[in-house]
Structure 1
Amino acid sequence: MNTLIWLSEYPTDKPSFDLKHFHATFFKCISWEVEETFDAINCPYHYVCDKTYPSNYSPAIDILVLIFTTASYLVTLIIFIKDMSSRRGRVFVCQSKRYLLPSGPISLPLIILAFAKGPQINTIFPLSCVGPAILHLVLISALSFDNGADKDIKYVFVATSTVSGILHASLYLDFVLLPYYTGFDALMSSTFSGQCASCVCRNEPLVVGGKLVSYRGWSMTTFLVVGVLCLRIVCKILGVNSGKVLYIKNLMEKSSWILITVDCVYLSANSPPERVMLRVAAFGGIFLLICLHVLKEAYFQICTMAYVAEKLRWASTSLQLINDGIMQETPT
């Protein structure tokens, strides 16, 4: 594998390119053209970048997206903590803070807009690096806070909007990630032919999205979360509080959390080695939310078990008192 492209200097027998322009050419390329080659042994597949995304926005746009994303994360974190400290946490979310959540009707359209312009947001806060963490923040927000106190029509409207927003966000994110991962594969699994800045020789065909990183925004994780939201709508409309539908919904929720965790672990270990500190901070924040969710569920399970044990002790004591009373009234 050709790892020399990550160094600040290149060997003298390789073309000398500006590093920033060099990376932008590969990571933002949206059209790789295969050219005829006369060296079937050393260069069976010869590729050149034919078209790239437009140039990046000014750093001010990246800063605005960074501020917005940070604020959305802090809101989610605060609501998580309040939800853990109060049994009325979900009511708190439904009544006052729902619109501030990343999956809410205000923040989610802004996230979709950022993803749609993601290839040009690529200076201080590149969405090609942190976009997956932002999508996971939206998924966690949608899973964790259910607006169950709403009336049926309002609930269905908000939940349906969230489903549509998540699907659009994941699709737009792939428009950012697929060229990024394709370029990463072209860099790491190819050798430079020297004919142009982006001309590479490969031993196998170059595929869309590459083969080195398999994560996609439009994935099983996204569809599981969407399925959970759809089942919540069904349960709300039909008034289902028990039965197979509720069991399937709870099982899908747990599976969604597992897949979100697996995605975060995979991306932390297999992402392209650039903007490492930014990526660590982004996924570190997501792991914190996952840990808080696990602690919250464990706390509620312990409280439920303690409540059931107390009820059983009370029932046992009452039954013993009744038996003692009957024994005292029985004549000898």
Structure 2
Amino acid sequence: MNWNLLRPEYATWQPEWTEEEIRSTFFKCTKWQVEETLDPINCPYHYYCTSSYAGNYSQAVDFLLLFFAAASYLATLVFMVMHVSGKGQKSIQSKRYLLPSGPVALPLIILALAYGHRINSAFPLSCTGPAILILVLISALTFDNGAQSDFKYVFFETSTISGILHASMYLDSVILPYYTGLDALVSSTFSGECASCVCRKEVLIVGGTLISYRGWSLTTFSVVGTLCSRIICRVAGAKTGRSIWISSIFESSSWILIIVDCVYLTANPPPERLELRVAAFGGIYVLICLYVIREACIHITRLHSAYKSRTAVVCNASKVEMRK
């Protein structure tokens, strides 16, 4: 893959183009048209963009979204640290409103992703959107909504599930044109017929073939399955080993898939906005490490309690024998 084509100095076919013009022409194209070619050997597939980009929103929108995303991340980080230290249960009722998966932040995230195609200056969602969705998934997995009654619990969890599915769908509407344009730019040659006209050896598919990450994916549905299993266990009052085992399988699978997505996106990033991507996914890795520490502490505590109980039973049995 020739990543140098992303740099304007390599675009000799149109040297006056700036990097921003390249982004708006290829990365923001939502409709690629294939037409008949006169050179089936060198140009078997000829594509050009038929959509027009309305332009970026004001940078103020980007900075507001950046501030909101940073605040949501910090809230998640603080509550995860509190959970690791054993102090997180005291603020269950209030924290759900501060978390990315909560009833306040999640609708704002959905709104941002719904119009994320034009948020493309200081904080482009085509680069940071996957990290934001993963942050929502981690928040939903880690924290309970804290509702006391079953009705409120089901309502909040169902709203979270709906929000996650909508956020995933809107994220794909942002990143799929980006990945498609990236494939069209990097894996093609310019025909010179028009500004966006490219020749390809293979068919251009939606989302391209360079990066296979999708918001609407197995990871999202695994998290949704985890939340659904929690609802069933809460409403049905199922505390049996089988229900706990199934819920644990869903949750473990969700975390594994999240880690796989993070590693994949870190290992296969487009060569732009590198600092922003490193900061976003660096923060996600910190949350994952905190979760691993918390789970390790829980297992160590359980093993210690089991050891103490077993030791107490053995000691009591020894005392009985000595009395006899």
Which TM-score band applies after superposition, normalised by the shorter structure?
Answer: over 0.9
In structure 2, relative to structure 1, the CA distance for the partners of 1:199 and 1:2 (3 Å cut) is farther
Tell me which structure has the larger Cα radius of gyration: 1
Match of 1:178?
Answer: 176
Distance 2:2 2:35 in 1: 21
Q: What's the offset of the Cα at 1:5? A: 1.4
Instruction: Give yes or no for the alignment of 1:65 onto 2:69.
Output: no
- Sequence identity (%): 58
Q: What's the offset of the Cα at 1:254? A: 0.5
Which residue identity lines up with residue 211 of structure 1 in the other structure?
T
Whether the aligned pair in 1 keeps the contact of 2:26 and 2:181 (CA below 8 Å) is: yes
Match of 2:276?
Answer: 278
Whether the aligned pair in 2 keeps the contact of 1:76 and 1:102 (CA below 8 Å) is: yes
Match of 2:33?
Answer: 33
Q: What's the offset of the Cα at 1:8? A: 3.8
Q: What's the offset of the Cα at 1:150? A: 1.9
Distance 1:23 1:147 in 2: 40
SS at 1:9 equivalent: helix
In structure 2, relative to structure 1, the CA distance for the partners of 1:11 and 1:264 (3 Å cut) is closer
In structure 2, relative to structure 1, the CA distance for the partners of 1:286 and 1:40 (3 Å cut) is same
Residue from 297, 304, 307 that aligns with 1:306: 304
Distance 2:172 2:293 in 1: 32
In structure 2, relative to structure 1, the CA distance for the partners of 1:174 and 1:148 (3 Å cut) is same
Match of 1:246?
Answer: 244
Residue from 313, 321, 324 that aligns with 2:322: 324
Q: What's the offset of the Cα at 1:148? A: 4.9
Instruction: With the length of structure 1 as denominator, give the TM-score of the two structures.
Output: 0.95
Q: What's the offset of the Cα at 1:11? A: 6.1
Distance 2:52 2:73 in 1: 32
Distance 1:4 1:63 in 2: 29
Distance 2:262 2:24 in 1: 25
Whether the aligned pair in 1 keeps the contact of 2:93 and 2:146 (CA below 8 Å) is: no
Q: What's the offset of the Cα at 1:96? A: 2.0
Q: What's the offset of the Cα at 1:250? A: 0.7
Instruction: Give yes or no for the alignment of 1:104 onto 2:102.
Output: yes
Whether the aligned pair in 2 keeps the contact of 1:170 and 1:217 (CA below 8 Å) is: yes
Instruction: Report matched runs for 1:66-85 at 5 Å.
Output: 66-85=66-85
Whether the aligned pair in 1 keeps the contact of 2:24 and 2:53 (CA below 8 Å) is: no
Distance 2:150 2:193 in 1: 63
Whether the aligned pair in 2 keeps the contact of 1:2 and 1:187 (CA below 8 Å) is: no
Instruction: With the length of structure 2 as denominator, give the TM-score of the two structures.
Output: 0.97
Q: What's the offset of the Cα at 1:23? A: 1.7
Whether the aligned pair in 2 keeps the contact of 1:53 and 1:119 (CA below 8 Å) is: no
Structure 2: runs of 5 or more not aligned: none
Structure 1: runs of 5 or more not aligned: 327-332
Whether the aligned pair in 2 keeps the contact of 1:59 and 1:123 (CA below 8 Å) is: yes
Deviations 1:30-81 (A, max 9, x none): 0001122100111010100110442110100000000000000000000000
Q: CA RMSD in A?
A: 1.2
